Structure 1
Amino acid sequence: MSIRHSHLLKQLETRLSKLRAERDMTKQALREAEAAHVAAGEKVRAVEQEIASLKDATSEPVLTEHALLRYIERVHGIDLDQIRAQMLTPAVTEQIRTLRSCRLPIGNGVILVVEAGVIKTVATKDSREKRIRQVHGLRPVEVRRLQAEEE
């Protein structure tokens, strides 16, 4: 065998060894991925079973907020777009863009609770007083005193 062939043979054997090692590593990665896939599938099935059992256990029908809003809109004739426009005036929109997260009073004792530019809920002064009483166990007079100190 010539030196040239000997050198080529050595290169090919080295290359073959590296390719086999790479194949073994990908085979192991494939086994691990398959195991992770099986484990994820088991978790999905467990959650699906939990959901199904909760649905079966619920004797009352579930009413989604979407269905409730459509009912209010279509049966009672409430114009949700008009309400949206009342809540999101240009001034309010600008304040939310600027502040991003806040408790924003919009008039008539109504407060928009905003987190990261998303209106999460609507509160009123009365609902805030009630929540403070529940959390802190305060009497109405004490709640009003705390609110006055905040302002």
Structure 2
Amino acid sequence: MKHLFSLLTILFLLSCASKAQNSSKEKKTYKVEKTNAEWKELLSPMAYYVLREAGTERPFTSDLNKNYKKGIYVCAACKTPLYKSEHKYDSGSGWPSFDRAVKGNVELDVDYKIGYARTELKCNTCGGHLGHSFDDGPKTTGKRHCINGVALEFIPKEK
């Protein structure tokens, strides 16, 4: 009986260990991947901080916040189209805001950096941090994609 109890205890412990290993999140691979040194060479220090270290620029500092020209907003790191100008609106937050992204080009992830879950937005091509999504947007979608301007480049629509 003593041996049976020992065997069951060992099997239980092995079972717990294997489940814990399986539940760990695997690192996603992206179409565009570079070393930190390559990203640092390509991006400005602020763009690197936001896109690669999930930082946040100060509100009301981006020229793109009040840009209402027609065109497309692309990832500053890999040039993937992320947002159309017709989906941009003034949220008053101090960051460029959109009610939706270009379908399939923005990844939704979960961010716990400030102690609770938030929906993090990332470029689906290079994994660059863009900003966060909130449920206080306009009636069109109810979403507010609050994006760091330094994570974007604006390409005006040709006339």
Same fold (TM > 0.5): no
Length-normalised TM-score, structure 2: 0.25
Query: Is the helix fraction higher in 1 or 2?
Result: 1
TM superposition score normalised by structure 1: 0.26
Whose strand proportion is higher, 1 or 2?
2
Q: Compare CA radii of gyration and give the structure with the larger one.
A: 1
The structure, 1 or 2, with the larger RCO (C-alpha pairs under 8 Å, 6+ apart) is 2
